[in-house]
A and B are shown apart, each in its own frame.
Chain A
Amino acid sequence: MRLLRRIFVAVFLAGFSAAIMRLRGTGGTPPQHGGWKPLELADDPPASPEPSG
């Protein structure tokens, strides 16, 4: 019975610690800024290499 109680306490403490870290941790937040926009090629200077052969 004493062993069972210890196991329950250990599991509770582990879960409680994990919940605290999950809710209060700062390591896993994905970027909240930035994004993607269409690549603009129109303003680039035209390429004009010498024709081959």
Chain B
Amino acid sequence: MSPTGRIVVVGDGVVGRRSVRALGGPTVVERRAGRTRWITDGLAPGDVVVLATPAPHAPAAAELGARGVSVVSVGDDLADTVELLELDDRFRAEGASLVVGAAMSPGLSGLLARHLASQLAVADEVHVAVHATAGAACARQHHRALRGRSLNWRDEGWVERPAGSGRELAWFPEPVGARDCYRAELSDPVLLHRAFPEAGRITARMSATRRDRLTARLPMLRAPHPEGGIGALRVEVRGADAVGRRETLVVGVAEFVGAITAGVVTAFAATLAGRAPGIAIPDGVVLAADAALPTRSLLGAVAATGVRLQEFTGVPHA
């Protein structure tokens, strides 16, 4: 595939606007409305489309893949993610790439998990915690996620539990600090399990207040905010080093969720469009935690957009 350098961002929300701003430069960046007919209009093989609309993304991605257009999806809806994963053959046949989960979680969570796992001889546990949302669509997804069923991987099997259960106190970088996090219907464990099939435990939790949990099964009582406050991500990888000593590595981010997602979108879209010399992304379905990706270069590209990646320096004790 010879990249044409054309990037189209679909979606007019917080993530779409921030992505257009972050992607600015010599490459053509367009912003379009979210209907498939308008998305595909005038696109050619080698172009890159960023889907930053509410779920579902799978129908649009399938149509774009059939035209040889690479797709970057920021979606985190579990059912939609599973459908996107089934499009591997279609994209591979057309020599295009489909990045599934290019947001904060999933997305940056996978890049950071892979980065941490690369420092260990064996990585057998991956735990992700997220706090806050980007725009209104993200807030609605957060609301839905708290009333669904959570999937976490434990000892060679999926453990299904009600969302909103399993409280854990997670420490995020400042200014977010400590937040109570709960199980939720998140897609991160599904994607991380594909990237880390050897890991015995994979969990994802998100922060929520008492009101969030109490009202999760009701319609949203008031319109969601245009953009949430400072959000955060925490990724913890446990494993063993070369001599068998147990290690726990923790990294995190505390920024506006929209800014973090725009940073991840920029890293993937710019690389797919050939704007990052020397690195490339494979054809077919691509996950942020894939070992085949140039993880450090992508993390460097995310950091270059202003996202401050941080590592925990203390010794975490229970």
Contact = CB atoms under 8 A, between A and B. Distances in A.
B273 to A, nearest CB: 13
Contacts of B314: 31, 33-35
B281 interface: yes
16 contacts: A34-B315, A35-B312, A38-B310, A38-B311, A39-B310, A39-B311, A41-B296, A46-B278, A46-B296, A47-B279, A47-B294, A47-B296, A47-B297, A51-B280, A52-B95, A52-B97
Interface residues of B, number: 35
Contacts of B278: 46, 48
Interface string A24-53: 000000110111111101001111111111
Contacts of B292: 49
A38 B311 CA distance: 6
Given A47-B295, A47-B296, A36 B311 contact: yes
A37 B314 CA distance: 10
Nearest to B284: A52
B310 A36 contact: yes
Judged by DSSP, the binding face of B is loop
Interface of B: 1-2, 95, 97, 171, 173-174, 178, 251-252, 278-283, 292-297, 299-300, 303, 308-317
Nearest to B274: A51
Contact of A46 (B251, B297, B303, B310): B297
B62 to A, nearest CB: 20
A36 B252 CA distance: 8
B303 A41 contact: yes
Interface in A1-40: 30-31, 33-39
Contacts of A33: 314-315
A23 B281 CA distance: 57
A53 B91 CA distance: 12
B131 to A, nearest CB: 14
B139 to A, nearest CB: 26
Judged by DSSP, the binding face of A is loop
A53 B173 contact: no
Contacts of A48: 278-279, 294
B294 A31 contact: no
Given A31-B314, A36-B313, A52 B282 contact: yes
A30 to B, nearest CB: 7
A37 B283 contact: no
Contacts of A37: 310-311, 313
A31 B281 CA distance: 41
A53 B309 contact: no
A53 B2 CA distance: 8
B224 to A, nearest CB: 29
Given A52-B280, A52-B283, A34 B95 contact: no
Contact of A34 (B293, B299, B316): B316
A22 B310 CA distance: 34
Nearest to A43: B296
